[in-house]
Amino acid sequence: MTLIAILLATLAAGIGSVWLAAGLMRIGFLASADGEASRRVGPQHLLSLAAGALLATAFMHLLPEAFEGRAGPQALFTTLLVGLVFFFLLDKAELWHHGHEHHHGEAAHDRHDAHDDGHAGHEHGAPDHDQREATPLRSGGWAVLTGDSVHCFGDGILIASAFVADLRLGLVASLAVLAHEVPHHIGDLAVMRMTSINRRAALVKVSLAGAVTALGGVTGWWLVDRLHEYLPYFLVVASSSFIYVALADLIPQLQRRLSAVQTGVQIFWLLAGIALVTVVSSLAHVH
């Protein structure tokens, strides 16, 4: 039963986030990156929502569950510190795929829009805009998919660890992963669409990378099931991942000069992410 729940949740988080991102892009629900369409939901809003969801999941659910086990606080805090350093090193090695590709995707999307509007090359004033645009993006497509696959595999292991501890905890962790993968996959799709003529092929490629989450889920279930006494440490590692993504990747993208109204909206979406995790946790606990 637990394995089935893990498979369903990881597929929903991995592939569902890709299709949700594609759907938002297709219907034009997202505002442009320059923020002019302030009445619509923009990438900054989704990043705020994801950061709130990740922090709430780590501090309100995963860590409390871990500290209820038999492991000592010092050992768990040491694991948390080691986890943060570990994910920092992975990020430095460009294996832990996050918002840096999201920026790449937004830049690619902006250049593509500029070209469609007949303003190619206005940023640098160069006539060979198409050639410069194609070269780095076409060579970076597989790098995006590789990094995405590694990241999704890790997400699957973290989700599985939460499910083994408690079904409600697994659902909350899956929601947090889904929330932060949507803006992440928007950047992926933007990059892949610039490297492929066929948009459907780009969606399929990113979806396959997202499906690796299920493989990570099965692997995580197999590991944690055999090392159940180390479950509190798995939960702390999951927490360190969520905290690192929120504080080192998502929130720095939100640290820009904004008006009082825009700052208020940003805070609203951050609190909405926290509230969303809290509501889902309460509903799952009732059922």
Domain parsing of the chain, residue ranges: 2-29+41-286
Residues ≥6 apart with Cβ < 8 Å to 183: 21, 43, 46, 47, 50, 99, 102
CB contact at 8 A, 208 and 200 = no
Over residues 123-158, the pLDDT tens digits come to 444 444 444 344 444 445 676 777 788 889 989 999
Helices and strands (H, E) in the chain, number of each type: 11, 0
What number of CA atoms fall less than 13 Å from residue 181's CA on the CB side? 32
Dist. CA 267–CA 260, nearest whole Å: 11
Predicted confidence at residue 197, as pLDDT, reads 67
Q: To the nearest whole number, what is the mean pLDDT of the chain?
A: 78
* Residue that wins the pLDDT comparison between 96 and 27: 27
**Which residues, 6 or more positions from 40, have their beta carbon under 8 angstroms from its beta carbon?**
28, 29, 30, 31
pLDDT at residue 237, as a whole number: 92
Token pair for 11 = 């597929």
CB 144 within 8 A of CB 188: yes
108 contact partners, CB below 8 Å, separation of at least 6? 133, 137, 190, 191, 194
Of residues 69 and 110, more confidently modeled = 69
- In this predicted structure, which of 53-57, 66-70, 104-108 has the lowest mean pLDDT? 104-108
pLDDT at 218: 94
Residue range 230-249: average pLDDT?
90
Yes or no: say if 144 and 227 are a contact pair by the CB < 8 Å rule.
no
Long-range contacts of 132-138 (CB under 8 A, 24+ apart): 133/108, 133/194, 134/194, 137/108, 137/191, 137/194, 137/195, 138/195
Residue 14 sits at φ, ψ, to 5 deg, of -75, -55
Residue 30's SS3 state is strand
Block residue for tokens 């009082």? 260
Euclidean distance between CA atoms 54 and 252, whole angstroms:
15
Nearest-angstrom CA–CA distance, 49 and 266: 9
In this prediction, residue 268 carries a pLDDT of 93
Enter the DSSP assignment of 171: H
Percentage of the chain beyond pLDDT 70 is: 75
Q: What residues contact residue 84 under an 8 Å CB cut-off, 6+ apart?
A: 240, 243, 244
